[in-house]
Amino acid sequence: MSPIARARIPAIAACVAVAFAAGAHAQGGAWPARPVRIVAAQQAGSATDSIARALADALAEAWGKPVVVENRVGASGAIGTVVVARAAPDGYTLLVGGLSNLVTSPLLEPSYGVDPEQSFVPIGRVAFVPFVVGIHHDVPAATLQDFVAHVRRHPGSVVFATSGPTAFSRLCIELLALEQRLDLLTVEYKSGPAATLDLVAGRAQLHVSEIASMKSYADAGKIRLLAIAGNRRSGLLPGVPTFAEAGGVDIPMTPWYGVLAPAGVPPDVLARLEDGYREAMRDPRLLQRIEALGYEPIVDGPGAFAAALKRDVDEVRRIARRLGRAAN
């Protein structure tokens, strides 16, 4: 090799390095360079799925790339939740989840496999999801206190339909039963909709679920709604008191749906995720779709979702201690 050729090698190498770095920077700055997937841990047509699809449409416009929803169903939401927790932290896999599969179940089920505060990076909540206490129309009770008195007159015979031992709704009723010394017959169902149908049919007398799944039956006179399970009333049912207002127990949480990424997402990608979330939540079409589902849109500022998640984790641990249940 000639001396001139040898002299050119460092210069060429330097140019290649600069070009590679520039290309890498351009690739990072171009996120998303391919479609983003949102995992919904419930079946198609469920509330989680509906929220995920509404959000996906708005995010696709914000980012200019397709955003697809993937339903990963099973184990009361654990399968889809774990899939995202273990996904590559590159911003291309997100989770839409709620209070039960992101807080109560991970804390109360030892084998769940995720840590509410360590496994994910919260991006923002999308909607408050009011839960309501419903009873069958044949139960002679107009208020929550009337219902408490009815249960005391019929110990062990009033059926409480629940979708699982770690559901937020289950904790609410367990806490009520503890403080009011109630003897309920608890029956577990494979899903919330199945429990709601048995409440409507009269095979159960008590169930707690989202307003969206209960209000139409109440409007038809098939069930009666006694209280909101949470710390805020719903605009859909302004006359229905909260648990505490109805003389039950104080439940200082309101269920929500939010969007999260796996822990470890690079700061620049996280910034794009947060920007896309804020832009999507400014879209009036998304807000209308959320309201049409019976939910209340919420737009979190920076850090608000993480702070709310910590409060809810602390509260669930407190409730678990009162109920004598172990929490992770």
Every domain of the chain and the residues it spans: 35-129+255-323, 131-228
Closest-CA residue to 290 (of 281, 300, 302, 303): 281
The Cα 134–Cα 246 span in angstroms is 13
Evaluate whether the domain defined by 131-228 bears CATH number 3.40.50.2000: no
Q: Rounded to the nearest 10 degrees, how much is the dihedral formed by the CA atoms of 22, 24, 27, 29? A: -70
Residues 127-147, mean pLDDT to the nearest whole number: 96
Eight-state DSSP code of residue 321: H
Residue 201: φ, ψ to 5°:
-80, -10
Q: Say yes or no: do domains 35-129+255-323 and 131-228 share a fold.
A: yes
Q: Say what the pLDDT of residue 29 is.
A: 55
The percentage of the chain sitting over the pLDDT mark of 90, rounded to a whole number, equals 73
Predicted confidence band of residue 264 (pLDDT cuts 50, 70, 90): very high
The radius of gyration of the chain from alpha carbons, rounded to an integer in Å, stands at 24
Superfamily of domain 35-129+255-323: Bordetella uptake gene, domain 1 (3.40.190.150)
Tell me: pLDDT of 141 over 60: yes
The conformational region for residue 293 under phi > 0 = left, psi -120 to 50 = alpha, else beta, is: alpha
Q: Say what the pLDDT of residue 110 is.
A: 85
Closest-CA residue to 173 (of 229, 244, 102, 241): 229
Q: Say what the pLDDT of residue 16 is.
A: 37
Tell me: pLDDT of 280 over 80: yes
The structure tokens listed for 272 are 């794009």
Q: pLDDT digit string (tens) for 42-98?
A: 888 888 899 999 999 999 999 999 999 999 988 878 899 999 999 999 999 999 999
Residues 264-277, mean pLDDT to the nearest whole number: 96
The Cα 189–Cα 121 span in angstroms is 31
Q: Supply the mean pLDDT for the chain.
A: 89
Predicted confidence band of residue 230 (pLDDT cuts 50, 70, 90): confident
Eight-state DSSP code of residue 89: S
The model scores a pTM over 0.75: yes
The Cα 38–Cα 41 span in angstroms is 10
